[in-house]
Chains A and B, each alone.
Chain A
Amino acid sequence: MGVNTIPSGWFLENAWLIALIPAIGFAAIIAFGKKLPMKGSEIGLASITASLVISVGAAVQWIQRTNFVDETTEGYVEPVIKTWTWWQSGGVEFGLGQHIDGLAVLLLLLVAFISLLVQIFSLEYLRGDRRYTHFFAALTLFSSGMLVMVLAENMVQIILGWELMGLCSFLLIGHWWEDGANSRAALKAFFTVRVGDVGLLVGTAIVFFGAHQWAVDNLDSHGFSVQAISAWALSGDASSSALLWGSVALFIAAIGKSGQFPLHTWLPDAMAGPTPVSSLLHSSTMVVAGVFLVARLYPLFWEGLSIGPGAINLIAIIGVITLIVAALLAFVQNDIKKVLAYSTVSQLGYMMLGLGTGAWLPAVFHIFTHAFFKCALFLCAGSVSHSGSHHSFDMKKDMGGLARKMPITAGTWIISTLALAGIFPLSGFFSKDEIIANVGYNGYNLFMWLAFLGAFMTAAYMARATYLTFFGTPRGAAAGEHHDEHHGDDAHGDDAHGDDAHGDDAHADAHAEHHGSHGPHESGPLILVPIVVLTFLASIAGFTNAVPFGENFEILKRYVEPRAEVVAIEDTRLTIAGGPGQSVGSLAPQAKYDDACGFAAPPEGTVCLFPAVSHAPFKWSKGFLALGIVGAGLVSSWLFSVALYTRRDRRLVGLTERFAPARWGYQFLWNKYYLDHLYEKVIVRAVAYPIAASAYWFNQKVLDRIVDTAGTSTRQAGEFVYRNIDQTLVDGAVNASGFVASETGHALQPVQSGKVNQYGALLFGAAAVAAIVLVIINV
């Protein structure tokens, strides 16, 4: 067998360093970050940069590896899997390791890159913040957690990374916890995601018990291994109920983490965190963890939820509901970050819809493009609040007409908006339309039209937000007004920017003006550079998988999507059981067999590791339809915004007060479908209050009674013991011994005369007595 014919390389073999370096960086920042000249941010930047370098190296080597396979065997490109035993329990080894394939490489690159840009942005945005060091520590730990999950070789490692991200999300949303609203938002995010996390644990357990025996028998592996689970799911031997409930439970985890309906409510509240946090965690990386989970274990969901045969399934339904529901909510938000948050939720719905309908690659592609333009949009919002609206995010009160004052921010925002809406040739056009086209191609026609509706709404709410922020008449802080009441309740504004920590010469002028007039102005280069870079990438990222231009542009399809080939078990066993820290071997090419993976069980002695997903051919008719819909959304919303917000058209202003159905609709949306009420007032009350009441009753009547009785009887027993045993017996013995010792001492006192001669006499007398005794005994 041709071992070591597939080129691997140092970066692929050591990709686990990508996650380890930021973890070490986190520890270093916590340990001595405060003493460093840049307060620990340099460690964060350095560790993320190192991760990025290794990620780039790994990506290059992965491409070489794939090219090699394509030139020789055109078969399955074997992932680079390594594992080290973390701990053992009951004969099962829990490992930490790496599973490097195209998906992992893509996301490693993405996460490291965006983390780096956001950290650069934070240098300026959080300058002078009182918990500057901790902010960078948490950002670095977050990157490490996300990378751990992306690298994950087994389910336990996925859980580890998943929980690390949850922790950092909590820490970072509540970064300014002095404000009660922020700490409440942090708690809400944590607990809401926690509801889903139960699904992750349950799902992992179900899959483990379903797959473990099969994995041991066939692959010498175990039921946590991602590769073993994939092979098990597609083997045809898997129990359908384990597949179904395992995938449903894991999807519930994805619902929580990726803000899918009905657990999306935490994501908009999470905007209480600093803007870099929103742009890194809550738009581009952490919230796609759920999508990544589904994409990573795709064979499980493919079989468990019958995606292959084209069934209407849970993922597709949740995805499409999320995308419509969140897009509607984005229309009634006044907070620019909340518009973006709902937009994120809606785009995550697209990704889930894609995964649920068999469009694996378009969904992953959308993760990739969405990260760039959404991160850029959030950073633009941060730039606006930092330099334009005096730390306010309220579009109606404090923004408007900022395009003239902040041309670069406005320009990048508009480009990113068009990318999000899906205007040719920006990236959103390719990724979103690919999802929509594949949804239709796989036979989900209703969902396809709903996705088109979502695209219309996306364009419309983004046009509204753009108009309110950058055009029309300046209002509030954007008009240069300095209102103290706002300053007062925005406490973190003072923390972040109030003192004179702006030492950077490049910004000295800008900040002098900032502190002088508080008028809007353009932000400094540390803020603008990441935005411009991201916007540039958002513009061109679409060409990494530009289906309309043919095969040569389908880079992601070639390098990221796993090949749906059958693989001989002997080779896989070598790969999986490579031993601690080893990765071994290559896969021999298999004869093609007729039924594709995911549709029929693979032949004896082979396994499938990825289902044969379909790819819709591009049709310009659909492309133009999508462009038309997006264009209509942009234009109609723009005209509406001009009429409503600037010309104050009498027919539109106050429409929601005058016209009952409009008012009801507005109220319904304004209250976010009353989901928060449902959760907090109904479910929490219904669940928590009776439980609390009965627990209180139980506590008072039963537990307290028991405790009281126990306490009383213990006290009585104690008193009895005290009187009879302690006082009489023990004390008696103690006193008696003391008394005896004392009396003996007094009796013997005269012996101690202090006279040496007497001592000598005693000594010799005693010796004489001892000698006599000896003599008597011996005779």
Chain B
Amino acid sequence: MLAVNFLILAAVLFSIGVFGVIARRNAVMVLMSVELVLNSVMLNLVAFSQITDSIDGQLFALFVIAIAAAEVGVGLAMVLMVYRNRRSIALDELSEMKG
């Protein structure tokens, strides 16, 4: 079952990504983990596209790639600004949003 392997790979990638988002202090590493999560989802889309023999999923994956690029662009810009203001990109020091 080829498709199941794709899905398992996607689940593993997703878990690594989630772990990275939760456990990493470095903002750049968190961003990269978010990318991993996105990529796992894309892998799912392509896999289901293969299973259902439809082009829709692959098309959707192209959109996700574009959005991921934009998201990383915005994220890196924010990280850059945070670094300029604080000379640090450690996320646990950024707690101004504490309620």
CB atoms of B99 and A760 under 8 A apart: no
Q: Does A752 contact B (CB under 8 A)?
A: yes
A754 at the interface (CB under 8 A from B): yes
Asked if B24 and A754 sit within 8 Å, CB to CB, the answer is no
Contact flag A764-B98 (CB < 8 Å), given A756-B30, A757-B30, A757-B91? no
Considering only CB atoms, which chain B residue lies closest to A745 in the complex? B99
Please tell me if A755 contacts chain B, counting CB pairs below 8 Å.
yes
A757 and B21 contact, CB distance less than 8 A: yes
Within 55-99 of B, Cβ neighbours of A (below 8 Å) are at 91-92, 94-99
Kindly state the separation between the CA atoms of A749 and B97 in the bound complex, as whole angstroms: 11
Chain A residues lying within 8 Å of B97, measured Cβ to Cβ, are 752, 754
Tell me the B4-52 residues at the A interface (CB within 8 Å). 18, 21-25, 27, 30
Which size class do B's interface residues fall under? 10 to 19
Q: Which chain B positions have C-beta within 8 A of A591?
A: none
Q: Which residues from chain B contact A89 at a C-beta distance below 8 Å? A: none
Across the interface, B22 reaches (CB within 8 A) one of A749, A753, A760, namely A760
Q: How far is the CB of A42 from chain B (nearest CB, A)?
A: 71
Complex CA–CA separation, A755 to B94 (angstroms): 7
Please name all residues of chain B whose beta carbon is closer than 8 Å to the beta carbon of A753 when the two chains form the complex: 95, 98-99
A756 B18 Cβ-Cβ under 8 A: no
Whole-angstrom distance from the CB of B23 to the nearest CB of chain A?
A: 7
Known contacts being A757-B22, A761-B22, A764-B22, is A749 close to B91, with CB within 8 Å? no
Q: Is the CB of B94 within 8 A of A756?
A: yes
In the assembled complex, the Cα of A755 lies from the Cα of B24 at a distance in Å of 12
Partner of B91, one of A751, A755, A761, A764: A755
Q: Which residues of B contact A749 (CB under 8 A)?
A: 99
Q: In the docked arrangement, what's the CA distance between A755 and B97, Å?
A: 8
Q: Mark A733-751, 1 if CB is under 8 A from B, else 0.
A: 0000000000000000101
Q: Considering the chains assembled together, what is the distance between the CA atoms of A163 and B47 in angstroms? A: 90
Tell me, in angstroms, the Cα distance from A751 to B23 when the chains sit together: 17
Question: In the complex, A91→B96 CA distance in Å?
Answer: 76
* Chain A residues within an 8 Å CB radius of B99: 749, 751-754
Q: What residues on A are CB-neighbors of B96 within 8 Å?
A: 754
Distance to closest chain A CB from B27 (angstroms): 8
User: Residues of A contacting B22 with CB < 8 Å?
Assistant: 757, 760-761, 764
Residues on the B chain within 8 Å of A760, using CB: 18, 21-22, 30
> Taking CB as reference atom, which chain B residue is nearest A758?
B22
Contacts A749-B99, A760-B30; A755 near B21 (Cβ below 8 A) = no
Structural contact, B95 and A755, CB atoms closer than 8 A: yes
Question: Which residues does chain A contribute within 8 Å of B30, judged by CB atoms?
Answer: 756-757, 760
A-side interface size class: 10 to 19
Per DSSP, chain A at the interface is helix
**Hey, which chain A residues are within 8 Å of B94, CB to CB?**
754-756
What residues of A have a CB within 8 angstroms of the CB of B27 in the complex?
756
With a CB–CB cut-off of 8 A, which chain A residues contact B24?
A: 757
Chain A residues, Cβ within 8 Å of B23? 757
| Inter-chain contacts of A757 with B (CB < 8 A) | 21-25, 30, 91-92
List residues of chain B with CB within 8 A of the CB of A755: 91-92, 94-95
How far is it, in angstroms, between the C-alpha of A761 and the C-alpha of B23 when the chains are bound? 9
A752 CA to B96 CA, complexed, in Å:
10
CA distance A752 to B95 in the complex (A): 9
Instruction: For the complex formed, measure the closest distance between the CB of B28 and the CB atoms of chain A, giving whole angstroms.
Output: 13
Q: How many whole Å from A532's CB to the nearest CB in chain B?
A: 93
Q: CA A754 – CA B95 in complex, angstroms?
A: 4
- Minimal beta-carbon separation of A370 from chain B (angstroms): 94
Task: Decide: B21 and A764 in contact? CB cutoff 8 A.
Answer: yes
With both beta carbons as reference points, the residue of chain A lying nearest to B34 in the complex is identified as: A760
Interface residues of A in 185-224 (CB under 8 A from B): none
Query: Which one of A753, A757, A761 has the highest number of Cβ atoms from chain B below 10 Å of its Cβ?
Result: A757
Please give the distance in Å from B42's CB to the nearest CB on chain A. Answer: 17
B37 to chain A, nearest CB (A): 9
How near does chain B come to A760, taking the closest CB pair, in angstroms? 4
The CA of A761 and the CA of B24, in the complex, are separated in Å by 12
Q: Which residue of B lies closest to A760 (CB)?
A: B21
| Alpha-carbon gap, A695 to B44, bound state (A) | 91
Q: How far is the CA of A421 from the CA of B31 in the complex (A)?
A: 114
Contact check, B98 vs A754: say whether CB atoms are below 8 A apart: yes
Which chain A residues border B21 with CB–CB below 8 Å? 757, 760-761, 764
Whether the pair B18, A764 counts as a contact (CB closer than 8 A) is yes
Complex CA gap A752/B30 in Å reads 19
Report the Cα distance A752→B98, complex, angstroms: 5
Distance in angstroms between the alpha carbons of A177 and B80 in the assembled complex: 80
Min CB gap A762→B, angstroms: 10
Instruction: Quote the shortest CB–CB distance from B77 to chain A (angstroms).
Output: 16
Contacts of A764 in B (CB 8 A): 18, 21-22
Tell me which of A751, A755, A760 has the highest count of chain B C-beta atoms within 10 A of its own C-beta.
A760
Bound form: Cα–Cα A754–B93 in Å: 9
Tell which of B22, B25, B91 has the most Cβ of chain A within 10 Å: B22
User: Which residue in chain A gives the minimum CB-CB distance to B92?
Assistant: A755
Chain A residue contacts of B18, Cβ below 8 A: 760, 764
Q: Which residue of A lies closest to B15 (CB)?
A: A764
* A749 and B96 alpha carbons, distance in the complex (Å): 14
B66 to chain A, nearest CB (A): 23
How many angstroms from the CA of A753 to the CA of B92 in the assembled complex? Answer: 10
Nearest residue in B to A749 (C-beta to C-beta)? B99
Rounded to whole angstroms, the CA-CA distance of A761 and B18 in the bound complex is 8
A434 to B97, CA, bound (A): 106
- B48 smallest CB distance to A (angstroms): 16
Q: A395 to B30: give the CA distance in the assembly, Å.
A: 110
Question: Which A residue sits closest to B96, measured CB to CB?
Answer: A754
Residues of A near B92 (CB, < 8 A) are 755, 757
Q: How near does chain B come to A94, taking the closest CB pair, in angstroms? A: 69
Q: Whole-angstrom distance from the CB of A293 to the nearest CB of chain B?
A: 85
B30 CB to nearest chain A CB (Å): 7
In the complex, residue of chain A having the shortest beta-carbon distance to the beta carbon of B25: A757
Mark out the residues of chain A between 47 and 94 whose CB falls within 8 Å of any chain B CB in the assembled complex.
Answer: none
Report Cα–Cα, A749/B23, bound state, in Å. Answer: 22
Name which residue of chain B comes closest to A757, CB basis: B22
Q: Given A761-B22, A764-B21, answer yes or no on A756-B91 (Cβ-Cβ < 8 Å).
A: yes
CB neighbours (8 Å) of A754 from chain B are 94-99
- Give the distance in Å from the alpha carbon of A189 to the alpha carbon of B91 in the complex: 91
Which of A749, A753, A755, A756 has the most CB atoms of chain B within a 10 A radius of its CB? A756
A763, chain B: closest CB distance, angstroms: 8
Q: In the bound complex, what is the Cα–Cα distance between A755 and B92 (angstroms)? A: 6
Quick one: closest A residue to B30, CB to CB?
Answer: A756
- Give Cα distance in the complex from A192 to B33, angstroms: 97
Q: Once the chains are docked, how many angstroms separate the CA of A751 from the CA of B97?
A: 11
Complex Cα distance A764/B96, Å?
A: 22
Other A-B pairs, 18, CB within 8 Å; known A757-B25, A757-B30, A764-B18: A751-B99, A752-B97, A752-B98, A753-B99, A754-B94, A754-B95, A754-B96, A754-B99, A755-B94, A755-B95, A757-B22, A757-B23, A757-B24, A760-B21, A760-B22, A760-B30, A761-B22, A764-B21
Q: Which 3 A-B pairs have CB atoms at the shortest separation, nearest pair first?
A: A752-B99, A754-B95, A754-B98
**A-B residue pairs in contact (CB < 8 Å), sample of 19:** A751-B99, A753-B95, A754-B94, A754-B96, A754-B97, A754-B98, A754-B99, A755-B92, A756-B27, A756-B30, A756-B94, A757-B24, A757-B30, A760-B21, A760-B22, A760-B30, A761-B22, A764-B21, A764-B22
